[in-house]
Amino acid sequence: MIRPQFFYDTLASYGINFYAGVPDSLLKNLCAYITDHADAVHNVIAANEGGAMGLAAGYYLATGQIPVVYMQNSGEGNIINPLASLTDSDVYNIPVLLVIGWRGKPGVHDEPQHVKQGKVTTGLLNVMGIDYTVLSKEEEKAGAQIKKAVAYMQATNQCYAMVIEKDTFDAYVLQNVEKNDLALSREDAIQTVAAALGEKDVIVSTTGMISRELFEYRTAMNQGHERDFLTVGSMGHASQIALGIALEKQDRRVWCFDGDGATIMHMGSMAIVAQKAPKNYIHVVFNNGAHDSVGGQPTVGLNIDLSAIAKAVGYKTVYSIDCMEALENKLSILNSQLSINEYPIFMEVRVKKGNRKDLGRPTTTPIQNKEALMDFLKK
């Protein structure tokens, strides 16, 4: 395997020292090393991968130096527009080194949401005209690949991609861990909210730990999973899936279980929810200030006022909660026959980082999950 330090120092030897992107589980050791060794100006954890491309372009315009954008291969969809209309040689001709984690590589077992993306990872690069290499797990060969990539970008001013397989980077433990003093765990909060739902209520939960913790709660309680849509992929879009259901099923309350990273990734969606103003929509954001599913890299979630943003875009009722007592109180109010809450409702639940090490994954397939929910919604 490659030491993260080797990769980082090799790029630095060519004057490449600016990073932007969205963390990925296959890149977590590299991302941790970058976090510990690059200053805040030269490592920006972006809202989404397209935004990271914009940051990279701005850096190049200011310095003339090649930037790096890191991402999971799911982020390729978010970078296609800036690749085609910003950095492409037919437009501004800006070189960016893309470092892409190859989830769902054909022949390697992975979760369902990564299978299709794994199949098309290199194909998308081909379609976009991006030259690439699969990074070797041997440092000497990897060094030669980096040299070739840099020479290509310097000669052509075009983007180049390094596709990263599982177990490419050696272990590295993040030292600069951002901690919060919050006591409420996300899993306890999820269980408390799920337990407060009415019989006809449904949940759309976001990708990552939130869906996994919700699924395990249902299993532990010997409940079915038909009321929950587990958005195992499509990070940042759970709120719009929930909105689509809420607008058509106005006799049911629809709860969106969101995360801070997912909310920030496509924050404009909050404005659409608020302006459509469904009277059955409750948006719960479990905010721990971290991308928990991919190594705990920080988000800006706890440094911004999500509740103020929700209020500004038009949510009618807004709560911010950081303890179990307050959570139970607000849920009691929501379920009261005398409730005066106006919809849509935004509820930020500020929680501590981390999750159980033995946390499992959904045992139903996405199609089974879809069909069960659709059957439930017909009743």
Q: Which residue segments constitute the domains of the chain, with CATH numbers given?
A: 4-164 (3.40.50.970), 186-378 (3.40.50.970)
Q: What is the pLDDT of residues 283-306, one digit of tens each?
A: 999 999 988 777 778 899 999 999
What residue type is assigned to position 118 of the chain?
Answer: G
Q: How far is CA 295 from the centre of its chain?
A: 12
* pLDDT computed for residue 203 by the predictor: 98
- Answer yes or no: are the C-beta atoms of 258 and 284 closer than 8 Å: yes
Neighbour order of strands in the sheet with 43-45:
43-45, 19-21, 68-72, 97-101, 160-164, 131-134
- Which regions in the chain score pLDDT beneath 70? 337-339
Separation CA 280–CA 347 (nearest Å): 14
Give 255's strand partners: 203, 282
* pLDDT computed for residue 338 by the predictor: 62
- Answer yes or no: are the C-beta atoms of 137 and 126 closer than 8 Å: no
* pLDDT computed for residue 176 by the predictor: 79
* pLDDT computed for residue 76 by the predictor: 96
Separation CA 138–CA 132 (nearest Å): 17
